[in-house]
Structure 1
């Protein structure tokens, strides 16, 4: 039966037709509501979850509400990454949890295609082969029945992929589920970014919190350390306070020290041991111990206290170390056994008073509960010094207290003591200031004359050079002063007189200059002056003349009148000088020129002097090369016995022929040798050549050799006994008879240090060599050598021989020396015989030995070595 409705109403059939549509629309709205709810849940998760791992699980659960998502994973990838990360991976056929896969291995698969292309992918078992061939990917692992994969994008950049898949033919996906995943994916990216940002923020907060906690721990440690330092300072202050107190007994004082020490380290047991006046007994003014109540004084033995007294330093001894010390006999065995028995830990530190050990303070513990460490050792070592001072001060205070019976007297004594301490501290401060000023003064002044030294003079001179280069009109000059006869004064009167001489010289020079001029001592007998702001060079000359005249006045030293003089070199400070050393060098060169011109004068520097110095330096260098290569002209001249017309001995000497200058005079030769400090090397060279000649004569004489060779030795070879020993050893090593070796010594050289040479000359005499005094009569006090020194021959100076035919005085002198020669066991040799008249005159005086060109001219050493026989004497021509 058909029912009719009112106009405008639907019929039942029409309503029935609309029901499926209404149901479908209802499902659509319901699903939209669910999607909106899911998006809201995702947004809520992004705002509440702080860990990404929890977010992925929640997203999986939300997606599972709309579709079958049993197999679900999320892959994240950034461009150029070597790996694709899988922060969430659930798969029913893959039990292992995949965290990451190398990018190169994954890009050929399904997930790799989504990451590369940025496109979604829907696969079914029906279209898989077609789609994989078309899109050029392959399945990695088991191929799914259905699969939906969507890209995760941040803007237009793909950062990952989200994939659900089914391996069950009963579970298939539809287009709505693809739309759902595409719609949800963008919201998931936003949620990922928010959670990741929060996770990074929280991680940063955790790291910062950790840093702050570490900084706080360090601050706490520093606070604890400062508290320890403050405790130590407080303890030291208290030690000082109780030491300063004169009230109370010493026992109370030691007990207070013990209490203070116990606040710094574990010190339940403590004692103080001191040495008695005889340093043979130990006394214990304080002893506090848990086991042993008291202890008596005892003689020194091999105990712990004595070990510290012997070592002089703080020691930490426990049960392990005491066994080691006992095994080394550093401690007696009874002490070691007692410590091991009670499991002792013991620290002892010496008490130093004014640098001397007066006793020991020690602390110890029993049992295993408390063991001392190296920090405790260092602490007691540090505190012990203050305790030692406190003990000494307390003893002093106690001694004062015994002599003061009235309270007012005690107060007065304490006040005096504090006053003295303040005065002492003030005095120390003043002394320290004085010492600092003295150190500054000493660093810039000569200790003997109190004049400025080289450093201060150079500093002032550098300023003068800079001033001159800036202001050319300013006038400066440097005077270099060298004193005459200073060495003779030192050698004859001693170093004290030499010092007095230098002090007097400094005073005299100081009176010759103005207050603003600078006088300095460079060292030895060398003084320099910087004349500042003079008007004309004549002013400089006036100063130099005043100095020369002042030094020329006799000096009274050790009650004796001594004379000296001054040679002065002057260098004007001109533009172009760059340093003080250049000016001092030039003034020094001018001074040497003044000495060369006869001393007692001044010379102004010019450039030719510098050239002369360079030439002398080149001459010295050439001399060194010649000596090194042995290129001297070696000559031999014989000494003749007039009576037998035979050789007495042959004198070996060397001459130097410079490659450009030519033959160098003998005086200049030895001057260069002395200046370069090579006199010993020259002596050794001549000794080697003399030995070479004697060995040659031994060979050609077949062992029967009576020829003797002589060399001139410098006085330097007698200055030290080891030099004399080296000569004797050299002769012995060469296996030659010392009696065939003759050493000549110049009288002028002996004059300089005669009092030091006699032992060395006697030693040479005992070795068997023949000794000759050369140039007799050319120096001072010549006759003293004839009486005191064991010379076999005395060679009269050639100047006496040269004038013997025209000087009756020289004739008589030679005759007199010849007469006394037999009385003093030496023979006289006349050197420098040049003609027959001199020869005949010498014979008339009784002289029988001589040397000179008239008797025999020098021959080269090489000609001697070329002969295959011994030398033969020819008659006088």
Structure 2
């Protein structure tokens, strides 16, 4: 029995040895797997710098992952946090097609959110799901079944900064392939590395965007600087040319050389391949051409009697002209030029023609003319302005040249006649004195005009701001010195212009400036910086009371009646006062504070003054807060629409609707359209309001259709701000194209005053909008009394009279003007709408004149969509 014991010990040692070998093999396998995993992660880290696209990146991730896991079925889902949608940049599966081939692009994200992928995104945890767990999740309504059934499904979240941004998924369809906890741990580790790479790529992309943005900013700054340099060079060239012209007038050269040098100087400023100068003789009966140059090398015209040529036309009109070929042909067809001398008409090949009258001895004694025969050389209005400015100096040079020639002629005659020489010298001295005096007057006038208001002679904005800036700098050095700034806004100035005309409005401003001068000291500064805005700089005051006394004197002086157009007219003013208090004060900030205080004075009832203080600061804060609230109201669709009916004055039938926006403010109550647009104009949000209105009308289309009112024309008041820039006009056109309404029933009303101030942009925009088949019209017509001729070249379908006409029907002049507007509209076949009717008498008076369509409180108040069903429509 003792012989068996060594055998059993040997067997036990053999078993222990086999267990050790097995454990060593397991450890070796783990080390090998760890080594492969480490190599795979290093390879992933290098992918970000090597791959060129996301699909290539995830393809490399799959290839590396397949070394460690059975990943034949693998896909990646990423979350777009801005739009909260799921995207699948990589998908590989034995049975299922890519989701984009199964579902439409709009529903891919929705479907993935409802499945196992969405479940991992919501929980933020890894999930190993077999059929049993899958059925349980379906039963618990946690997920929906998507795709073909599989044996096991393994998904791990991808996180960046503790937020889930995507999911890595592998799955097996074979029962021979099952995933272990080690596989889950490995896939989680891979997802963590992917998130690090994604975060690095994201940071790299943000850096590239920042670099791109900075490069763009530098490019814009460079373009701006380049433009400033070009303008500076142009100004220097202009100044140099003027000096050269002045030198020519005093140089001792012959006449032909003199005019050739003039042509050379002008050529430095503007292309003048075709140019000539025409001069009248002393009797103004003959015209000669001392200088003539042409690309066609045609001979210089001979002197001739004054006739009806194009040169005589510009001399007769006494103003610069820029004519197109069509303009010239129109003059020929109308008989204004070349009707008596058709043989002189050589304008057929002229593309553009510029003529500038030359004032010599304060009379039109000739013309400077350039023209082009090719469309490649097109002159602009700024070329006309430049040539007009230079022509004044050319005329002076010619005047001096003629005087010099006259002097030479006089010298020749002096040898024979002493008396005639004495008289000639006397005349010459008079000419020279007159020339010197005229030049001094011109220089003084140029300096004065650059710093003073042309109407009142007061300091203009530039000069006043310079003096205000000097006062600020002075008080910084002498802290005990104080000054005050008064900002004065006149009352009823617009009414004076509208009722009495601009001439009386100018007289009103001149009289006001005289009254203001009487209220201040000699060392104070009075300026006009706007239409009816005056400012006073009170220098070296002792206390606040000094400024208040001046303000009271100003208010008293403005309250005195004005005699305008043979009648007495009362005005007044509102004054804002600002003092220098802080080191940080600037001329701009003080003017802004005084302006804010002035608006507060107007809000307090006009005819008073307000001193800018902490309360005014708070008011500015309120204005800023109100602007932000309005922006939020627009973005949150908090503004509402009501409708003002446009009726037939005879039958009361509703012919159209004018949509109007209003705002139920939580603290200010209901803000109607007029005040709402004033707020928007102050905040520069008028375009946003118009776009909001167009979008809101689309939302109300179904409601109008339920009331069978969608066929009624809509009168939309549109701001002229849309027409100032191409992108604004493009946005307006796009919104009109998206309208649910028939565009032929849309009427766009633009304010007449905006048209007068920005005619060119309105004409261009009207031509573009006409292509959309909308109706164009002017509102507030008659407020600025634009020329009737302007209506003939605009594609207008209607006019809406200014509401002030309805309030002045007792005036015979207003009634005559209304009759004129009515007859003009009839002649031009325009629809006319009367605005502001508030009484039955006004309605009857308008009908008597002939008006048939109108709106106002006397015809019907604004109503909401729910009340529209009560209207009786055609």
| Band of TM-score, shorter chain | 0.3 to 0.5
Length-normalised TM-score, structure 1: 0.43
Mark the structure with the bigger radius of gyration: 1
Length-normalised TM-score, structure 2: 0.43
